[in-house]
Amino acid sequence: MFKGITATANGFYGPQGRTLRLSTRVPDMNEFLKRFEHKNHKILNFEMETSALYGLSALLGHHSCTVCAVIGNRFTNTFSDDYKKTVANLVQKVLRRI
């Protein structure tokens, strides 16, 4: 298990630096995210569900956290051969720790 930062976006294409026909406001966002570091932690995960979870949690006065299985590396274009096993292992590890 690695400690790192999850970058969370509120959408799939533009907010994650992907383009189809329209350019994004920050055209080199993925390069920025690749270089970003905070307190010796780099971004290890990029997804969009956490933004909704944290927003709803804050509105309801709750605390929340996410634990993510990284199954793809956008920067190297490599992906997990067996993401289901990766997720299952993460679930078991988290359940043992709590």
Q: pLDDT tens for residues 11-51?
A: 766 666 677 777 777 778 788 888 999 999 988 888 888 88
How far, in Å, are 10, 31, 48 from residue 62 at the CA level? 20, 33, 19
pLDDT more than 70, % of the chain:
93
Round to whole Å and give the CA distance between 75 and 36.
13
Whether pLDDT at 64 is above 70: yes
Averaged pLDDT of the chain: 85
Q: Residue 70: pLDDT above 70?
A: yes
Q: What is the model's pLDDT at position 12?
A: 66
Model confidence, pTM: 0.64
